[in-house]
C-alpha cells in the first residue's frame, strides 16, 4: 500500500494546476502534481489556440481599454450571471499575470514596436487578446512546465484520481489508480486542489481532448457534500471543423475571417446587427444553427456545415498568425485555408459549470478542498464565457488558490487523520475494482458512454425545450440505473482503458443528470442556455445561480440556487443587437 505525504496535493497538470503548484512551491512547501497523462505538456491547455485576455491597451486599436471595459464585456458575455466581484478581481489581475509570464520568458507575438500584441475576440470592445500566433496554450504550457521543473515539483504521471479521502467534512487526500502498474495509492495533504479541466466528453461532438471526462467534478460530487455550480451552462463553439470537430480558433474571425452560408452570403449581420461575426459564442452558434435549419447549410464532411473564410486574410497572415489552423486544416481535413473555405459547425467546447467555490477557490461543503481552472465554477463566466477568458482564469485561479493555501499552510498544523481512514479508503477502491473485474454479465460501459453522449447532444444542446429535456432526463435515468451493473471485457488492472472508463462512468452520469435537470428547471433563455419554449431572459425569477448536489444514496440530483453578486453593472442589454 503506497501512501505519499505532501503539504498539498494538486490533481491535474494543466495550466491551472501547474500555476498553483508554482505559487506554492516557490515558498518552499512540498507539493505534488498528479496527471492522467505521461507529461504535463500533454494536458488539454496545450491545445488552446487564440489567446488570453488582458487589458494592456498595447495596440493602436486597443487604446482606451482598461479593466473596467474588460469587466463590462465579461459581464455582458455572461448574460449577467457571473459574480461581478470575481470578474473585477480577475480582470484587474490580468495585466500583472501576463507581464509575469512575459518576464518568465513566454514568447508572445509582438507589435512592430516590440510590445505584446493583442487581437480582437468575440464579445470584446477592444482587441485585448494576448497571443502567441495561434498556439498560445502550447507556449504557456511549455513556460509553466519549465517553471515547475526549475522548482523540482514532483509529478506523478499516469495516475487517475478515484476519490477524495474525507475525515468528516475535511479532505485529507486522494486515492489514485496507477495506470501503469494497477496499484491503488493514496496522496495525503492539508489541502487538495482539483484542476482536472472540463467535461466535454459528456457530449458526442466536442472540441475537447479524450481526457476531458470531468473527473474532478465527479469525484467531488460523489462525496455527496460538494456542489456543481450552473450545470445547465455549456458552451458550443461556432467554428469546430467537422468531421472530427477540431477547433478553428475564434482568432480567425478576430483577425477578419467571416462566416458564409451556402449562398456565400456573410449572414451574421442579419442576426447580430452590432457585432456580426464577433458576437459572443452563444449568439454566433445559435445563428449558425438557424442558417442550417433554414436550409442554407452545405452537405459534406459527414454533416451539414457552413463555411469559414480566412483566405481573404492572405497567405502571409494565415501562415504566420494562424499557423496552427493552417496546419490542422491541411493535415486533418484536407483543406488549404489560404485557397479554400473551411467547413465549420458548432460543437461542445467548454463547461461553464464546475465544482462550486468561493472567491478564494475553496469548494463549498468540503474543508481543505479547492477547485480551479475549467473544473471549477467560482463564477467568472456565468451563462457564457468570452473567448480568451478561460486561459486567464487558469492562471488567475491558480495564483489566487496558491496564495490562499500559502496563508493556511503558514498556520496549519500537520494533518493528522483518524487511524485506518486512509487504508479503509484504499481498500474500498480495491473492492470496487475487484467487483467490476469479477462481473461476468452486465452492461457494456462503452455502449452506455456512447448512449449518454448522444442523449446530451440531442436533448441538452444548443436549442432546448421542456419536452425534449424531459425525454433526455428519462433516458439518462435509465443509463444511471445501469451504471451499477457495468461489466468489462478486459480483465487487467494496469493499462486498461475500459476499466478506467468504468471507474469514472457513474460519476459522469451523475453530472449529466445535473445538467439535464437544471436545464429543465431553468425556464428562461440566458447565455448558452436557450429554451425554445421560454425564449426571453427573465431577471425577475432567474437572476440566480444553480447549485446541484447528489447526496449519497439518492437517485437524482438536488437543485438549489444562490443569488448572483451584482457590484459593477446592473442587468441590461448585451449590446450585440441579437435578433431572437
Ligand atoms: C481546442 C481548444 C482551444 C482553446 N483555446 C482557448 C484560447 O485560445 N483561449 C482561452 O482562454 N481558452 C481556450 N480554450 C479553453 C482552455 O484551453 C481550457 O479551458 C483550459 O486550458 C483548461 O485548463 P485546466 O488547467 O483547467 O485543465 P486542462 O488543461 O484540461 O488540464 C487538466 C489536467 O487534469 C488531469 N486530469 C484529469 N482527470 C484526472 C484524474 N482523474 N486524475 C489525475 N489527473 C487528471 C489531466 O491529465 C490534465 O493534466 C480552448 C479549449 C479548447 C478545447
Q: Which numbered atom of ligand 1 lies nearest the CA of 374?
A: 26
Q: How far is the CA of 64 from the centre of ligand 1 (A)?
A: 31
- Split at pLDDT 50, 70, 90, the class of 416 is low
**CA–CA separation, 141 and 386 (whole Å):** 21
- Split at pLDDT 50, 70, 90, the class of 579 is confident
Query: Of all protein residues, whose CA lies closest to atom 10 belonging to ligand 1?
Result: 388
Residue 452 in any domain: the answer is yes
pLDDT tens, 502-515? 999 999 999 999 99
From the centroid of its chain, how far is CA 140?
Answer: 17
Which residues are 240's β-sheet partners? Answer: 247
> With 80 as the cut, is the pLDDT of residue 420 above it?
yes
Q: Are residues 425 and 553 in the same domain?
A: yes
Q: Are residues 425 and 551 in the same domain?
A: yes
Q: Are residues 330 and 452 in the same domain?
A: no
Instruction: Name the percent of the chain lying above pLDDT 70.
Output: 99
Angle at 186 between CA 180 and CA 191, to 5 degrees: 125
Burial class for 489, CB neighbours closer than 10 Å (0-12, 13-18, 19+): exposed
The residue from 44, 237, 464, 529 that is catalytic is 237
Query: Which of 44, 240, 357 is the best mutation target for the ligand 1 pocket, counting ligand atoms within 8 Å of the beta carbon and taking the most?
Result: 44
Residue 9 in any domain: the answer is no
Strand pairing category for 234-237 and 31-34 = unpaired
Strand pairing category for 240-241 and 246-247 = antiparallel
Q: Are residues 425 and 552 in the same domain?
A: yes
Q: Are residues 546 and 434 in the same domain?
A: yes
CATH number at residue 509: 1.20.58.100
CB distance 128 to 121 below 8 Å: yes
Residue 460 in any domain: the answer is yes
Q: How far is the CA of 146 from the centre of ligand 1 (A)?
A: 18
* 11-20, 301-310, 406-415: least confidently modelled range: 406-415
Query: Of all protein residues, whose CA lies closest to atom 4 belonging to ligand 1?
Result: 48
CB distance 369 to 376 below 8 Å: no
Element at 18 (helix H, strand E)? helix 15-25
Query: Of all protein residues, whose CA lies closest to atom 50 belonging to ligand 1?
Result: 48
What's the DSSP call for residue 319? H
Which residues have a Cβ under 8 Å from the Cβ of 262 and sit 6 or more positions away? Answer: 296, 297, 298, 306
Residue 30 in any domain: the answer is no
The residue from 19, 42, 253, 453 that is catalytic is 253
**Which pLDDT score, from 0 to 100, does residue 404 have?**
96
Average pLDDT over every residue of 152-178: 97
Burial class for 419, CB neighbours closer than 10 Å (0-12, 13-18, 19+): exposed
Strand pairing category for 8-11 and 31-34 = parallel
Q: Are residues 453 and 553 in the same domain?
A: yes
pLDDT tens, 168-222? 999 999 999 999 999 999 999 999 999 999 999 999 999 999 899 999 999 999 9
512: helix, coil or strand? helix
Q: Are residues 440 and 551 in the same domain?
A: yes
Last residue of a domain, one of 345, 365, 390: 345
Q: Is 17 left (phi over 0), alpha (psi -120 to 50) or beta?
A: alpha
Lining ligand 1 with CB less than 6 A are 11-17, 34-37, 43-45, 47-52, 136-137, 159-161, 195-198, 207-208, 211, 215, 247, 249, 349-350, 373-375, 387-391, 394
**Which pLDDT score, from 0 to 100, does residue 317 have?**
95
Query: Of all protein residues, whose CA lies closest to atom 11 belonging to ligand 1?
Result: 388
Residue 500 in any domain: the answer is yes
- Split at pLDDT 50, 70, 90, the class of 306 is very high
Average pLDDT over every residue of 527-536: 97
472: helix, coil or strand? helix
**CA–CA separation, 258 and 238 (whole Å):** 12
Which residues are 298's β-sheet partners? Answer: 305
Query: Of all protein residues, whose CA lies closest to atom 31 belonging to ligand 1?
Result: 14
pLDDT tens, 343-392? 999 999 999 999 999 999 999 999 999 999 999 999 999 999 999 999 99
Average pLDDT over every residue of 328-338: 96
Which residues have a Cβ under 8 Å from the Cβ of 410 and sit 6 or more positions away? Answer: none
> With 80 as the cut, is the pLDDT of residue 413 above it?
no
**CA–CA separation, 328 and 319 (whole Å):** 12
Residue 562 in any domain: the answer is no
**Which pLDDT score, from 0 to 100, does residue 156 have?**
98
List Cα–Cα distances, 441 to 437, 445, 490, in angstroms: 11, 12, 13
**Which pLDDT score, from 0 to 100, does residue 56 have?**
97
Last residue of a domain, one of 291, 322, 345: 345
Residue 31 in any domain: the answer is no
**Phi, psi dihedrals of residue 153, rounded to the nearest 5°:** -75, 120
> With 80 as the cut, is the pLDDT of residue 459 above it?
yes
- Could you give the residue ranges of the DSSP H alpha helices within 66-160? 67-77, 84-104, 136-150
**Which pLDDT score, from 0 to 100, does residue 415 have?**
64
**What cell does 454 get?**
448522444
Residue 478 in any domain: the answer is yes
**Which pLDDT score, from 0 to 100, does residue 418 have?**
76
**CA–CA separation, 97 and 423 (whole Å):** 41
229: helix, coil or strand? strand
Q: How far is the CA of 341 from the centre of ligand 1 (A)?
A: 28
**CA–CA separation, 51 and 127 (whole Å):** 11
Cis preceding linkage at 243, omega within 30 = yes
Q: Are residues 524 and 433 in the same domain?
A: yes
Q: Please give the mean pLDDT across all residues of the chain.
A: 96
Task: Specify the number of domains making up the chain.
Answer: 2
Query: Which of 161, 391, 503 is the best mutation target for the ligand 1 pocket, counting ligand atoms within 8 Å of the beta carbon and taking the most?
Result: 391
Q: Are residues 425 and 539 in the same domain?
A: yes
Q: Are residues 459 and 547 in the same domain?
A: yes
Q: Which numbered atom of ligand 1 lies nearest the CA of 349?
A: 53
Q: Are residues 328 and 439 in the same domain?
A: no
- Could you give the residue ranges of the DSSP H alpha helices within 105-194? 136-150
Q: How far is the CA of 119 from the centre of ligand 1 (A)?
A: 22
Q: How far is the CA of 259 from the centre of ligand 1 (A)?
A: 27
The question of whether 360 is a catalytic residue gets the answer no
- Split at pLDDT 50, 70, 90, the class of 70 is very high
- Split at pLDDT 50, 70, 90, the class of 411 is confident
Query: Of all protein residues, whose CA lies closest to atom 21 belonging to ligand 1?
Result: 45
E-strand ranges in 245-345 read 246-247, 258-260, 298-300, 303-309, 342-344
The question of whether 349 is a catalytic residue gets the answer no
- Give the structural domain span for 291: 239-345
CATH number at residue 268: 3.90.700.10
**Which pLDDT score, from 0 to 100, does residue 302 have?**
95
Instruction: Name the percent of the chain lying above pLDDT 90.
Output: 96
Last residue of a domain, one of 279, 311, 345: 345
Amino acid at each position: 500500500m503506497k501512501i505519499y505525504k505532501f503539504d498539498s496535493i494538486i490533481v491535474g497538470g494543466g495550466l491551472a494546476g501547474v500555476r498553483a503548484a508554482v505559487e506554492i512551491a516557490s515558498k518552499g512547501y512540498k507539493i505534488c502534481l498528479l496527471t492522467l497523462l505521461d507529461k504535463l505538456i500533454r494536458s488539454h491547455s496545450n491545445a488552446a489556440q487564440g489567446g488570453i485576455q488582458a487589458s494592456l491597451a498595447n495596440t493602436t486599436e486597443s487604446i482606451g481599454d482598461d479593466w473596467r471595459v474588460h469587466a463590462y464585456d465579461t459581464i455582458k458575455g455572461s448574460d449577467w450571471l457571473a459574480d461581478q466581484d470575481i470578474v473585477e478581481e480577475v480582470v484587474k489581475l490580468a495585466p500583472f499575470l501576463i507581464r509575469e509570464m512575459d518576464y518568465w520568458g513566454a514568447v508572445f507575438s509582438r507589435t512592430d514596436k516590440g510590445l505584446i500584441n493583442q487581437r480582437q475576440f468575440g464579445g470584446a470592445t477592444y482587441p485585448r487578446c494576448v497571443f502567441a500566433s495561434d498556439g498560445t496554450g502550447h507556449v504557456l504550457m511549455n513556460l509553466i512546465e519549465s517553471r515547475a521543473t526549475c522548482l523540482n515539483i514532483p509529478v506523478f504521471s499516469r495516475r487517475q484520481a478515484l476519490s477524495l479521502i474525507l475525515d468528516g467534512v475535511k479532505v485529507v487526500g486522494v486515492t489514485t489508480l496507477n495506470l501503469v502498474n494497477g496499484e491503488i495509492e493514496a496522496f495525503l495533504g492539508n489541502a487538495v486542489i482539483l484542476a482536472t479541466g472540463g467535461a466535454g466528453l459528456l457530449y458526442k461532438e466536442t472540441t475537447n481532448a479524450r481526457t476531458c471526462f470531468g473527473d474532478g467534478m465527479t469525484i467531488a460530487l460523489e462525496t455527496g457534500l460538494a456542489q456543481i455550480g450552473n450545470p445547465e451552462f455549456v458552451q458550443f463553439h461556432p467554428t469546430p471543423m467537422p468531421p472530427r470537430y477540431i477547433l478553428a480558433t475564434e482568432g480567425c474571425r478576430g483577425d477578419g475571417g467571416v462566416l458564409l452560408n451556402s449562398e456565400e452570403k456573410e449572414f451574421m449581420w442579419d442576426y447580430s446587427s452590432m457585432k456580426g461575426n464577433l458576437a459572443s459564442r452563444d449568439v454566433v452558434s445559435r445563428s449558425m444553427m438557424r442558417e442550417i435549419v433554414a436550409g442554407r447549410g452545405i452537405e459534406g464532411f459527414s454533416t451539414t456545415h457552413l463555411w469559414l473564410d480566412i483566405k481573404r486574410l492572405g497567405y502571409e497572415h494565415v501562415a504566420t498568425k494562424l499557423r496552427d489552423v493552417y496546419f490542422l486544416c491541411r493535415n486533418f481535413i484536407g483543406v488549404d485555408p489560404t485557397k479554400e473555405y473551411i467547413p465549420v459547425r458548432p460543437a461542445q467546447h467548454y463547461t461553464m459549470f464546475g465544482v462550486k467555490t468561493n472567491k478564494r477557490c475553496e469548494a463549498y461543503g468540503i474543508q481543505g478542498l479547492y477547485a480551479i481552472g475549467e473544473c471549477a465554477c467560482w463564477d467568472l463566466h456565468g451563462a457564457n464565457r468570452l473567448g480568451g477568458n478561460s486561459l486567464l482564469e487558469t492562471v488567475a485561479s491558480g495564483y489566487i488558490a496558491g496564495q490562499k493555501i500559502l496563508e493556511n499552510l503558514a498556520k496549519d498544523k500537520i494533518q493528522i487523520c483518524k487511524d485506518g481512514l486512509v487504508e479503509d479508503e484504499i481498500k474500498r477502491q480495491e473492492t470496487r475494482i475487484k467487483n467490476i473485474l469479477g462481473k461476468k454479465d452486465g452492461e457494456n460501459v462503452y455502449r452506455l458512454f456512447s448512449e449518454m453522449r448522444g442523449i446530451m447532444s440531442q436533448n441538452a444542446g444548443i436549442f432546448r425545450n421542456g419536452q425534449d429535456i424531459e425525454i433526455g432526463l428519462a433516458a439518462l435515468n435509465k443509463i444511471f440505473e445501469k451504471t451499477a451493473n457495468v461489466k468489462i471485457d478486459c480483465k487487467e488492472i494496469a493499462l486498461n482503458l475500459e476499466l478506467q472508463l468504468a471507474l469514472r462512468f457513474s460519476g459522469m452520469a451523475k453530472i449529466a443528470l445535473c445538467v439535464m435537470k437544471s436545464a429543465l428547471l431553468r425556464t428562461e433563455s440566458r447565455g448558452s442556455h436557450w429554451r425554445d419554449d421560454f425564449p426571453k431572459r427573465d431577471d425577475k425569477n432567474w437572476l440566480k445561480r444553480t447549485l446541484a448536489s447528489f447526496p449519497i444514496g439518492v437517485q437524482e440530483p438536488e437543485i438549489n440556487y444562490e443569488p448572483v453578486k451584482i457590484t459593477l453593472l446592473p442587468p441590461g442589454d448585451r449590446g450585440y443587437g441579437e435578433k431572437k
